[in-house]
Structure 1
Amino acid sequence: MTTAPAVPALHGRFWLKLVALLLGLFAAILLVLALFPWDLLREPLNRYVSEKTGRRFEITRRLDVEVGWRQATVRFDGIEFANPPWAREPYLVRAERAEFDLRFWQLLARRIVLPRLVLAQPSLGLQMEPDGRKTWALGKGNDDESTVPTIGLIQVDGGSVDFLAKALEIDLRAQFSFDSQRGEMPLSYQVKGRYRAQPLTAVGRTGNVLQLSAVGQPPFPIEIDLKAGQTRLKASGTVAELADLDGLDAQFEMRGPDLGRLYPALGIALPQTPPYALSGNLRKNAALWEVRGLKGRLGLSDIGGDMQFDKSQKVPHLGGTLRSRVMDMDDLGPLIGLPPTARSANAVEGVAPPPTIAQVDRRKRNDPARKVLPDATLDFERLRAMNADVSYTAERIQNVRELPLDKGSVQVKLKDGVLTLDPLELGVASGRIAGAIRIDATQNPADIRAALDVRAMQINRLIPKVETLKTSFGRLDGRINLSGRGNSVASWLGGASGDVAAITGRGQFSNLLLEFLGLDGGEIIKFLLEGDHNVELRCAAVAFDVEKGVMNGRSLVFDTSDTVFNGAGSISLASESMDLVVRQQPKDMSILALRTPLRVRGSFASPKAGVEVAPLATRGAAALALAAINPLLALVATVETGPGKDADCSEVLAEAKKPSSRAAAAGATKARQQPAPGS
């Protein structure tokens, strides 16, 4: 019988002894570290940190360290850490006590990781310079990102924070107070200062343990009531990480004078609006912001829906679906650079109304050169800051001027600086206006194109007062095809080319009104005695060739069975002036007719309408001469023989349907060419 060799057993005992020795050595090291008088290292540590950072660092009373497997817990009884000499505040941090966990294995990679930081009555001085320097960058050069500590949880029991970032236009000071009787939010704060050149104040509460960048920790509660300028924000909810607001889930209420003013703070190119009041649920997950259940008011209009803003893409993207039960046309003025109306400006309680269009007009009233078209420069630069795809629907449209707007919808797309409203639809007077608007903000001035078709609008609904004249029109069709370049509505229209037209077919028209327009005294007397009756409207057309901001009348005809009106002239959108002449040609014979061309001229701000004096004076002189012979002969000068003839309606309508000049035709064609966004 053979025995097993003893060598393996000897080897096994050797390794057991080696492991026991190492464990004993490690235990001895831990015991030494546990019993080590760490405070002896306080002064050497003060000198070492001061030399490495180039700033004064001092643990003022006592140093203690507790060493674990992965990290050490360091306690300072009193700490003063100076700021760089260029900083406003003398100290980066000054506190009665400080305690933090330090991942010492991360130090080998030159990273400072503090999973937990506790400060008693701290005073913090945080500052960022336009050149990138930060007071919390701990290298001598203050620009080495590897020397910026990564902090997980931070706990305070009061104190203050001073934060200055000149490049961001932020200058804030926060005061903290702790009271355990406040429940789950024992830490309250007050913030005062300036943000984007506006005064800012905020008060709120939170848990005393704040998670700056902790991963896997439960969210902590937070409340805020903030006022920046005229913007007011109230929010309450929870947040997982305070550094970038990740895991935010909060209910909010917000109000202010104009959503467009939020662009510097949010980086979202929202439209210019009247005063607003909004509420909803705000969430953030990584780079995705979401607003759910949005509801509120924009001026006189209600608004609701859901929105998303994704900052993970190379160009941030805004998406969503919005709707209004009732949209008021008075609220659309700011979109095109006009101040809001008084109704719209005062519609939101708690927001100081901005200057209204009436107040602005009052200041300009005595200015003979004042303009009517919106000339405020539109900030197209913002359109390059993001992409967007948002749909909006208004179930009903109302307006103080009682225009018969029924409903509307639009799909807003923004890609690579090109904004399109396509499709754009408005229900008007039982008909509709449909088409597209395109703004290419990659060019300066912006390339703007508008192609809109008018279909089947009922003129009786379009002009409600017409009912009192026993008048019945047919339907109105038309179009607006304009293209040009500009950075405001006025500058665009002042250089635009294209086609503007409106046509209508048969209907009924008040003869009494017709004779007033034709200055036919005999017919007016007859109808006042016998009563008014309607005449047939055969056709009507108003069409202009638009060439570089000048609207030249192409077809200006209003033909009834009694009288045909022919117009001519032009309108300058650049100078906002007009000179139009309408000539009446009656189709029947009448006395007491003082027919003379009607003329409309002047500026948009101060139009002047009247009759041409020369023809009227000629008839008046003839009447006076004949009256000298026999008073009854004076009537001869007012006899109208009725030379008017029926217009060729087919020719009138055909002429109104297409531009006649090459420049107008080219502009209209370009307007109808609506390239896809980004093409």
Structure 2
Amino acid sequence: MVATSQPSLSTPKSIWPRLAVAIGVLLAVLVLVLLFFPWDLLRMPLNRYVSEKTGRQFEITRHLDVRPGWRGATIVFDGVDFANPPWAREPYLVRAKRAEFEIRLWPLLSGQVVIPRLAMVSPTMGLQMEEDGRRTWALGKDTGDTSTVPTIGLLQVDGGGVNFLAEHLGVDIHADFSYDTTRGDLPLDFRVKGKYQRQPLTAEGRTGNVLQLTSAGQPPFPLEIKAAAGKTQLSAQGTVAALADLDGIDAQFQVKGQTLGDLYPLLGIALPQTSPYSLDGKLGKRGKLWEVKDMQGRLGLSDIAGDMRFDQAPKTPRLEGTLRSKVMDMDDLGPLIGLPPTERSAKAIEGVEAPPTIAQVKRARGEPARKVLPTATLDFERLRAMNAEVQYTADKIRNVRDVPLDRGSVRVKLLDSVLTLDPLDLGVANGKVAGAIRIDARQDPADIRASLDIRNMQINRLIPKVDTLKTSFGKLDGRINLSGRGKSVASWLGGASGDVAAVTGHGEFSNLLLEFAGLDGGEVIKFILRGDKTVTLRCAAVAFDVNRGVAQGRGLVFDTTDTVFNATGQANFANETMRFVIDQKPKDMSILSVRTPLIVGGTFGSPTFGVEPGPLAARGLTALALGAISPLLSLAATFESGPGVDADCKAVLAEASKPTTAEAAKGAAKATGARQPQN
């Protein structure tokens, strides 16, 4: 048998080495082609391609070079002009002597432009954003399409300038850059001028020559800045991780200005109007959360310290924190209720232009010099801008003048446009005023309610001038329950309804003061010759029904062992006028008495004091008639037999215990609801 030969079969192992060699050769050839390819031949085609795709003129003016890499490529434009869309103010988006940038290749397949690094020599840039979303740096024909906006990591410049315009945001700024290696770690100097939030802006500072626009795993870059926007001045030193959204901030800051309220248009934080301020502390930002730690400084004449957090992540931003003053000056409270600062507060912070004082504002408005209630419109719109919860405590209060405040604390809560001060706790005259105030800014005018209790206040501290007459009063208790609607403190009180009452029991005070008040000449002479004595206070009550801004006295009694005083009358908050008639009835006999009802009238800012002319004239005519018979008989007209009787103290206190009119009772009940959770 003859054996037949079989054809030989190539094994796979004999194919793969040759295939690998072929692929290697092809890759080597490709690399050599990429390395030595005359890329400048593509300059003109690239100019036409980019111009057609973007709808605006693009030109590499001198040379094009490409350096391929494993993940992307480094592209160098020797001279570049890239025009802005026709609607922009500036003619060029970028115009630079040289631009070098890295570009990722794989994201290009999905239409994304990712540039980890962009370096430019002497660029001029024209950035503009419109309210409808258009922006000049969107690379497609549709400049409102955010998917065509490139992602840029690091930006490096050695000089040049940038213009940025966003009219709908009130932003129009120009920045100039200069680079100098002799400046050490901060070689890039910048100067900014223009408008921010429609307020004049100037800024200057230094940074590293590489700016990180977006977080890309790089270390934060150093930054120093001094800026002034409107009346607000800022200086900061620290690091920033991402410049595009100001993320990864760690800095020490100092800020000062005329009022914290000016930060609302600048930063969107709805802080109250205040006296001029100066604050410093540590500023940090991670994502949407801003934090201020170890803050300390001054608000006018008052010191302040604490920590604050501002979270922009929720649909409605939220502010929270704890603040404390060792000493709070009463002059600094005026701006909180719509009053300009006093001259002392306005000039308290060095380096801050003093704002108009309360006296200057009134002169400019032509307001009466003695207008008392604040008429400035409160900016309730800001209450709709954010939510907040802040605890504030003042260990000591000074410069109290007419109201002896000792200390104070309040928790401020702002939720869904409703501001509550609850609990509000003030130390007054060794006693306290405690309660709540609620402002509902969802309505226009705002619904305002105040419910306050008065406990154990020493009357001699409430009336310090009486202390010179060796007065030793008892203690005062009372309440204020008012509700109404308004746009200012004055307009609210001018239409408010509710209940105001204060009562006191036993105490002692100067008899000399009492006789002066009762126009008892004989008793005054006696006490001057023999020395002043004290008299016992049996009880006293001051109670008002407040009906739509008119406080009508329902129980005005002051009863002592010497004299009982009964008063009638009213005070009008709308026009700040008052008229009260005080009738005094002595409980002892006296000569040289010209007792007649006292009249307290005029305005809150300029009260008048007088006597009822009728009874006084009658006594005068009687004295003249009797004097014609005998001079001694004329004294009979000033003789007081003492018809006064003790007041029924239980009835007095009962009358002061609750409102007597339906409107006042309704307003008081509504006010007490300020202390309860609101739906």
TM-score, normalized by length of structure 1? 0.96
Counterpart in 1 of 2:633? 633
Cα deviation for residue 462 of structure 1 reads 2.4
Of the structure 1 ranges 608-617 and 270-279, higher mean CA displacement relative to structure 2 is found in 608-617
- Deviation per CA, 1:307-354: give whole Å up to 9, x if none: 111111221111111111111111010000001111111111111111
Counting only pairs closer than 5 Å after superposition, residues 118-197 of structure 1 correspond to structure 2 as 118-197=119-198
Change in 2 beyond 3 A, CA 1:590/1:364: farther
Does residue 418 of the first structure (1) align with residue 418 of the second (2)? yes
Cα deviation for residue 363 of structure 1 reads 4.5
8 A contact 1:179–1:187 mirrored in 2: yes
Counterpart in 2 of 1:325? 326
Aligned to 1:426, the other structure's residue is in SS state strand
Counterpart in 1 of 2:500? 500
- Deviation per CA, 1:368-427: give whole Å up to 9, x if none: 9x7421111111111111111111111111125274322111111111111111111011
Cα deviation for residue 602 of structure 1 reads 2.1
Q: Percent identity?
A: 67
8 A contact 1:117–1:153 mirrored in 2: yes
Aligned to 2:650, the other structure's residue is in SS state helix
Counterpart in 1 of 2:242? 241
Cα deviation for residue 93 of structure 1 reads 0.6
- Deviation per CA, 1:422-460: give whole Å up to 9, x if none: 111011111111111111111111111111111111112
8 A contact 2:127–2:136 mirrored in 1: yes
Aligned to 1:673, the other structure's residue is in SS state helix
Counterpart in 2 of 1:50? 51
Change in 2 beyond 3 A, CA 1:19/1:650: farther
Aligned to 1:263, the other structure's residue is in SS state helix
Cα deviation for residue 676 of structure 1 reads 5.8
Counterpart in 2 of 1:513? 513
Counterpart in 1 of 2:441? 441
Counterpart in 1 of 2:536? 536
Tell me, in whole angstroms, the C-alpha distance in 2 between the residues paired with 1:6 and 1:21: 27
Tell me, in whole angstroms, the C-alpha distance in 1 between the residues paired with 2:353 and 2:585: 56
Counterpart in 2 of 1:271? 272
8 A contact 1:420–1:677 mirrored in 2: no
Aligned to 2:225, the other structure's residue is in SS state strand
Counterpart in 1 of 2:610? 610
Cα deviation for residue 175 of structure 1 reads 0.7
Tell me, in whole angstroms, the C-alpha distance in 2 between the residues paired with 1:307 and 1:214: 25
Does residue 354 of the first structure (1) align with residue 347 of the second (2)? no
Does residue 314 of the first structure (1) align with residue 315 of the second (2)? yes
Counting only pairs closer than 5 Å after superposition, residues 331-370 of structure 1 correspond to structure 2 as 331-363=332-364, 367=368
Tell me, in whole angstroms, the C-alpha distance in 2 between the residues paired with 1:404 and 1:637: 43
Change in 2 beyond 3 A, CA 1:471/1:631: same
Cα deviation for residue 70 of structure 1 reads 1.6
Does residue 261 of the first structure (1) align with residue 262 of the second (2)? yes
Cα deviation for residue 678 of structure 1 reads 6.2
Counterpart in 1 of 2:75? 74
Tell me, in whole angstroms, the C-alpha distance in 2 between the residues paired with 1:527 and 1:364: 49
Q: Match of 1:81, as an amino acid?
A: F
- Deviation per CA, 1:203-229: give whole Å up to 9, x if none: 100000000003211011000011112
Aligned to 1:674, the other structure's residue is in SS state helix
Cα deviation for residue 27 of structure 1 reads 3.0
Tell me, in whole angstroms, the C-alpha distance in 2 between the residues paired with 1:39 and 1:677: 73
Change in 2 beyond 3 A, CA 1:168/1:658: same
Does residue 672 of the first structure (1) align with residue 679 of the second (2)? no
Aligned to 2:376, the other structure's residue is in SS state coil
8 A contact 2:423–2:435 mirrored in 1: yes
Tell me, in whole angstroms, the C-alpha distance in 2 between the residues paired with 1:656 and 1:505: 13
Cα deviation for residue 638 of structure 1 reads 1.2
Counterpart in 2 of 1:619? 619
- Deviation per CA, 1:110-161: give whole Å up to 9, x if none: 1111110000000011112233221112222311111111110000000001
Tell me, in whole angstroms, the C-alpha distance in 2 between the residues paired with 1:542 and 1:367: 29
Tell me, in whole angstroms, the C-alpha distance in 2 between the residues paired with 1:274 and 1:129: 36
- Deviation per CA, 1:254-300: give whole Å up to 9, x if none: 10000001101111111110000000000001111000100000001
Does residue 471 of the first structure (1) align with residue 471 of the second (2)? yes
Cα deviation for residue 668 of structure 1 reads 1.0
Cα deviation for residue 675 of structure 1 reads 6.3
Counting only pairs closer than 5 Å after superposition, residues 44-123 of structure 1 correspond to structure 2 as 44-123=45-124
Change in 2 beyond 3 A, CA 1:678/1:623: closer
Of the structure 1 ranges 121-130 and 290-299, higher mean CA displacement relative to structure 2 is found in 121-130
8 A contact 2:435–2:675 mirrored in 1: no
- Deviation per CA, 1:155-213: give whole Å up to 9, x if none: 00000011111111111111100001111110001111122332211110000000000
Cα deviation for residue 545 of structure 1 reads 0.7
Tell me, in whole angstroms, the C-alpha distance in 1 between the residues paired with 2:367 and 2:420: 38
8 A contact 2:232–2:262 mirrored in 1: no
Q: Match of 1:567, as an amino acid?
A: A
Tell me, in whole angstroms, the C-alpha distance in 1 between the residues paired with 2:419 and 2:395: 24
Tell me, in whole angstroms, the C-alpha distance in 2 between the residues paired with 1:6 and 1:365: 118
Tell me, in whole angstroms, the C-alpha distance in 2 between the residues paired with 1:676 and 1:318: 22
Counterpart in 2 of 1:229? 230
Q: Match of 2:298, as an amino acid?
A: R
Runs of 4+ in structure 1 over 4 Å off: 5-9, 362-368, 675-678
Cα deviation for residue 559 of structure 1 reads 0.7
Q: Match of 1:658, as an amino acid?
A: K
- Give unpaired runs (5+ residues) of structure 2: 1-5
Cα deviation for residue 618 of structure 1 reads 1.2
- Give unpaired runs (5+ residues) of structure 1: none
- Deviation per CA, 1:8-63: give whole Å up to 9, x if none: 98224434444443343233222211111110010111111111111111100000
Aligned to 1:571, the other structure's residue is in SS state strand
Counterpart in 2 of 1:250? 251
Q: Match of 2:651, as an amino acid?
A: E
- Deviation per CA, 1:453-510: give whole Å up to 9, x if none: 1111111222233221121111111111111111211111111111111111111121
8 A contact 1:577–1:601 mirrored in 2: yes
Counterpart in 1 of 2:301? 300
8 A contact 1:416–1:677 mirrored in 2: no
Counterpart in 1 of 2:657? 657
Tell me, in whole angstroms, the C-alpha distance in 1 between the residues paired with 2:449 and 2:107: 59
- Deviation per CA, 1:45-85: give whole Å up to 9, x if none: 11111111111111000000111122111000001111122
Aligned to 1:637, the other structure's residue is in SS state helix
Q: Match of 2:487, as an amino acid?
A: N
8 A contact 1:417–1:678 mirrored in 2: no
Tell me, in whole angstroms, the C-alpha distance in 2 between the residues paired with 1:571 and 1:17: 109
Change in 2 beyond 3 A, CA 1:401/1:339: same
Of the structure 1 ranges 60-69 and 402-411, higher mean CA displacement relative to structure 2 is found in 402-411
Cα deviation for residue 97 of structure 1 reads 0.3
Cα deviation for residue 630 of structure 1 reads 1.7
Tell me, in whole angstroms, the C-alpha distance in 2 between the residues paired with 1:520 and 1:118: 94
Change in 2 beyond 3 A, CA 1:621/1:179: same
Tell me, in whole angstroms, the C-alpha distance in 1 between the residues paired with 2:518 and 2:133: 76
8 A contact 2:564–2:646 mirrored in 1: yes
Aligned to 2:177, the other structure's residue is in SS state strand
Tell me, in whole angstroms, the C-alpha distance in 1 between the residues paired with 2:617 and 2:282: 73
Tell me, in whole angstroms, the C-alpha distance in 2 between the residues paired with 1:121 and 1:449: 61
8 A contact 2:72–2:102 mirrored in 1: yes
Q: Match of 2:550, as an amino acid?
A: V
Tell me, in whole angstroms, the C-alpha distance in 1 between the residues paired with 2:632 and 2:365: 52
Q: Match of 1:608, as an amino acid?
A: T
Tell me, in whole angstroms, the C-alpha distance in 2 between the residues paired with 1:594 and 1:193: 74
Change in 2 beyond 3 A, CA 1:157/1:403: same
- Number of equivalenced pairs: 674
Change in 2 beyond 3 A, CA 1:365/1:541: farther
Tell me, in whole angstroms, the C-alpha distance in 1 between the residues paired with 2:630 and 2:315: 91
Counterpart in 2 of 1:385? 385
Q: Match of 1:569, as an amino acid?
A: G
